[in-house]
Structure 1
Amino acid sequence: MADRARLGVLISGRGSNMAALLYASRAADCPFALALVASNDPDAAGLTLAAAEGIATFALSHRGMARADFDARIDAALREAGVTHVALAGYMRLLSPEFVERWAGRMVNIHPSLLPAYKGLHTHERALAAGDSHGGCSVHLVTAELDDGPVLGQTPVAILPGDTAETLAARVLIAEHQLYPRILADWVRAGQPADDPLSRVRELSLALPEAREKLSHGAPGFFVEGGKFFAYFSADHHGNGITAVLVRTSGVEEQAMLIERDPALYYRPPYLGPSGWIGVRLDTGDTDWAHVGEWLARSWRLAAPKRLTRLMDVADAF
């Protein structure tokens, strides 16, 4: 994949697995980012958390709506947000065949049992009643049949003497929070080259203090929490055939000087060029990633709020 996967997460309640995915996505090497958290319950607690963390949300009560009509609304919200992959995280709705078909091969679920055992509800009670030695959780691809898609990964959880459904569920939930982000990342990463230009730009950008990523005008953009954008990744923008990272300079004079000095490496990008931004090409065949990293760090500093740059300014004074 040439781009970071844009994940849509469907929840119905507190969204603890959604939170696990969200915080895992903040790692610099994570191949997915949350683009939307959607729910069939407008009062779902997970929506509050997602919004507080800056993730777009969508909520619509399913009550009184035909299943296919409701799923069509959810599908439209996912597509409007540019979602590429869907993760079900405590989503307590049976999905219509039409919805499953639209997201076939791009939708996963986490289930609190060691599938194929105990599909459906009351998994912990059933495991205890059967005298099993272990419960656990499974991540699987979603298919039309409930909890029946190919299993991508599992974690067994030992059943202890005196366990109740509640105590077992609490330990299984810990395992879910560990398993889901790892398996989802592996699943997404399986088709994503580790050394493609966007991955390298993302790795360098998100290693900077309080750096975040957000799609902006259709392009991956990187900004400082509480500050401004400091970089954009550009690939064949309007058919120009150029792959580059766009960064801030001190102004149009420096921009012009750089382009005059090395026109094979630098160019004046449309729209941002008049504001002093410059394009650093990544398609020359011999990209100096240390140099790119220096540009990203410098651009970050120009965009960051004073609370983050104050100590750097003091250090520069000596």
Structure 2
Amino acid sequence: MPGPRAKHGKRAILREKARVAVLISGSGTNMAALLYASRLPDAPYRIVLVASNDPSAAGLAIAEAEGVPVFAQAHRGMERAAHDAAMDAAIRASGAEYVALAGYMRVIGPAFVSAWAGRMLNIHPSLLPKYRGLATHQAAIDAGDRVAGCSVHLVTDELDAGEVLGQAQVAVLPGDTAGTLADRVRIAEHQLYPRVLADYVSRPFDADWLVAQVRERALALPQAEETVSHGMPCFGIVKGKKFGWVSLDHHGDGRTALLARISGLDEQAHLIESDPMRYYRPPYFGDEWIGIRLDLGDTDWEAIDGWLQRSWRSVAPKRLTTLIDAADQF
């Protein structure tokens, strides 16, 4: 089956679906929701592994019946680090690029979390930052909340404290118990998690998101401003020269790219020769500019920071660069 289409203006480019491993400990209903959603037309991800810390987890049988590879390693009798390492090895062997926790009831150690930073998601049955940890439904009822719900967030070392990527609200009804409320929240979870996961794995290819990342970095530079030039977002010094553009399917080339200043033709040629998929000569911009693809799915944003700073410095008045250099000494 072909992968989803990443839209770029008038063109649509096929790209591979993101590979996701799902970790479970029990029935696997959220895993099943993710799996079935992955088989819908234009879904941007596919499930390549379902793994569990409980070999008897019912969700493993669902995954096997659906033809998804499974892995199980009981955690009892193992040091946390050793168990984490076994799970990590299975995930990497599957080729997964992302990890989705779906009722995985094992606390993950910092090394495992760090290894998958920015690529591990979890679903939690509350409207974070409210009610981290367990017994969330009863906590909402006891607090007299009119709404409860669920959140999908990135996993960090701090429990249920990572960036919230999406939430769904569920009304608390008169006479609700923790059990009745949990049943309705679970329905919301099954709607929310596939949508948020799909959006998250698509971000590295989404033109609006990519422009926002460049904008945040460019406008953090001294006296930088944004305009529109040649139909593209453009960044320059206030009342001064331009130091960057974001090319969006320029002349139908299907690319989302940063255009930054360089030293000249020799550097341009060297960059293109070193990585012709990432670097290119932007039409109509000449030898002192390089196109840097942002839509390949593996953008190094620290490197983009460096390109923007270098490009800004090449056009900034000396009074600005002198101030920056002086500040850097402290």
1:77 to 90, 103, 113: 90
Matches within 5 A, 1:238-277: none
- Counterparts of 1:193 and 1:31 in 2: how far apart (Å)? 12
1:113-146 alpha-carbon deviations (Å, 9 max, x no partner): 0000000000001111111111100000000000
1:191 Cα offset (Å): 1.3
Give the secondary structure class of the aligned counterpart of 1:190. helix
Quote the residue 1:127 is aligned against: 140
- Counterparts of 1:31 and 1:190 in 2: how far apart (Å)? 11
1:27 Cα offset (Å): 1.0
1:3 Cα offset (Å): 2.7
Give the secondary structure class of the aligned counterpart of 1:23. helix
Which residue identity does 1:82 align to in structure 2? G
Give the share of equivalent positions with the same residue, in percent. Answer: 65
Quote the residue 1:61 is aligned against: 74
Quote the residue 1:35 is aligned against: 48
Quote the residue 1:86 is aligned against: 99
Quote the residue 2:265 is aligned against: none
1:186-232 alpha-carbon deviations (Å, 9 max, x no partner): 011111369xxxxxxxxxxxxxxxxxxxxxxxxxxxxxxxxxxxxxx
Aligned length: 196
Which residue identity does 2:142 align to in structure 1? A
- Counterparts of 1:66 and 1:93 in 2: how far apart (Å)? 12
Quote the residue 2:251 is aligned against: none
- Counterparts of 1:35 and 1:70 in 2: how far apart (Å)? 20
Matches within 5 A, 1:143-222: 143-192=156-205
Which residue identity does 1:172 align to in structure 2? V
**Structure 2 unaligned blocks of 5 or more:** 1-5, 7-14, 208-275, 277-330
Quote the residue 1:202 is aligned against: none
1:82-106 alpha-carbon deviations (Å, 9 max, x no partner): 0100000000011000000000000
Quote the residue 1:279 is aligned against: none
User: RMSD in angstroms over aligned alpha carbons?
Assistant: 1.6
Give the secondary structure class of the aligned counterpart of 2:56. coil
1:28 Cα offset (Å): 2.0
1:242-270 alpha-carbon deviations (Å, 9 max, x no partner): xxxxxxxxxxxxxxxxxxxxxxxxxxxxx
- Counterparts of 2:117 and 2:134 in 1: how far apart (Å)? 23
1:112 to 102, 110, 125: 125
- Counterparts of 1:134 and 1:146 in 2: how far apart (Å)? 22
- Counterparts of 1:53 and 1:160 in 2: how far apart (Å)? 36
- Counterparts of 1:126 and 1:161 in 2: how far apart (Å)? 15
**Structure 1 unaligned blocks of 5 or more:** 195-240, 242-318
Consecutive aligned runs of 4 or more in structure 1 exceeding 4 Å deviation: none
What is the TM-score of this pair, normalised by structure 2? 0.58
- Counterparts of 1:27 and 1:168 in 2: how far apart (Å)? 29
